[in-house]
């Protein structure tokens, strides 16, 4: 079933149902943010891919009160909710409606900006595998040396078929290999439960 991210009612219902269908999500997002290797006082720059209604960005700003976050999402309706929920941090946020299904999304980002971390939660699984690999390469180039990429996402087992063309879940095993081949270091699957995983890596700070 295709998603209707431009529908205010669909988005409102999706947000209401989100935590009910994944009660451990808050704990998982705390773990995701904990992978960022920076001190709490640093004015870090973060890219939140599929930022939606701001659940990850809120956790980042709580842990890193001086952070600047670029919130990217293909749904303007989702970002409306994000702006409302994150209003107290409005001076530290940028919101960009763009679809990272296409490399054209890079042109919507601030010119020459690099990030201490790129994070995503339950968003990149919408992208087909061939495009996922390209997206990970683009993320790698956007990171500063030492920067972190952390992805909390829906995944499938190696022997499971792709169930839904609208959500072409990849396997953790494949995605970890892609990250290593791109040049990420300390790549790991930090935890995995049935259908969900947290994985990522870092851009080396060595010359």
Show Cβ contacts of residue 104 under 8 Å, excluding neighbours closer than 6 positions.
98
Structure token pair of residue 122: 């339950």
Q: What is the mean pLDDT of residues 163-182?
A: 82
**Residues 74-129: pLDDT tens digits?**
999 989 999 999 999 999 999 999 999 989 999 999 988 999 999 999 999 989 99
Report the side by side order of strands in the sheet with 68-73. Answer: 93-97, 68-73, 45-49, 115-121, 143-154, 196-203, 184-193
Which regions of the chain does DSSP assign to beta strands (E)? 45-49, 68-73, 93-97, 115-121, 143-154, 184-193, 196-203
Q: Is residue 1 part of a domain?
A: no
Cα-based distances in Å from 120 to 100, 126, 139: 12, 12, 11
pTM greater than the 0.85 cutoff? yes
The CATH number of whichever domain residue 109 belongs to comes to 3.40.50.150
Q: Is residue 3 part of a domain?
A: no
- The alpha carbon of residue 25 and the mean position of all alpha carbons in its chain are separated, in whole angstroms, by 14
165 or 135: which leads in pLDDT = 135
Residue with tokens 């040049």: 183
Which tens digit of pLDDT belongs to each residue from 38-62?
Answer: 999 999 999 999 999 999 999 999 9
Domains held by the chain: number = 1
CA–CA distance, 188 with 168 (Å, rounded to integer): 21
**CA diameter of the chain:** 50
Residue 166 has pLDDT above 70, yes or no: no
Which pLDDT band, with edges at 50, 70 and 90, does 1 fall under? very low
- Residue 2 maps to a domain: no
Q: Which residues constitute the domain of residue 158?
A: 8-203
What's the rounded Cα separation, in Å, for the pair 203 and 150? Answer: 12
pLDDT at residue number 20 = 65
Structural domain includes residue 152: yes
The reply to whether 92 falls in a domain is: yes
- Whether residue 140 is contained in a domain is answered as yes
Q: Is residue 190 part of a domain?
A: yes
Residue 71 lies in a domain: yes
CB of 97 closer than 8 Å to CB of 73: yes
In this prediction, residue 194 carries a pLDDT of 82
- Residue 122 and residue 53 in contact, taking contact as beta carbons nearer than 8 Å: no
> What is the per-residue pLDDT across 4-44, written as a single tens digit (0 to 9) for each?
767 777 767 766 776 666 667 889 999 999 999 999 999 99
């Amino acid at each position: 079933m295709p998603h209707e991210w431009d529908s205010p009612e669909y988005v409102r219902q999706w947000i209401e149902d989100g935590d009910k269908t994944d009660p451990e999500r808050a704990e998982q997002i705390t773990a995701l943010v904990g992978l960022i290797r920076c001190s709490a006082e640093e004015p870090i720059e973060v890219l939140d891919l599929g930022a939606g209604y701001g659940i990850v960005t809120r956790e980042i700003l709580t842990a890193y009160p001086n952070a600047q976050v670029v919130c990217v999402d293909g749904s303007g309706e989702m970002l409306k909710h994000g702006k409302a929920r994150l209003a107290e941090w409005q001076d530290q946020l940028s919101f960009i409606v763009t679809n990272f299904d296409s490399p054209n999304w890079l042109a919507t980002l601030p010119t020459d900006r690099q990030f201490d971390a790129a994070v995503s939660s339950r968003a990149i699984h919408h992208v087909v595998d061939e495009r996922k690999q390209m997206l990970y390469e683009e993320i790698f180039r956007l990171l500063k040396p030492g920067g972190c990429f952390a992805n909390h996402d829906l995944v499938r087992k190696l022997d499971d078929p792709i169930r839904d063309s609208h959500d072409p879940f990849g396997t953790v095993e494949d995605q970890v290999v892609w990250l290593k081949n791109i040049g990420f270091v300390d790549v790991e699957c930090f935890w995995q439960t049935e259908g969900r995983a947290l994985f990522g890596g870092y851009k080396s700070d060595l010359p």
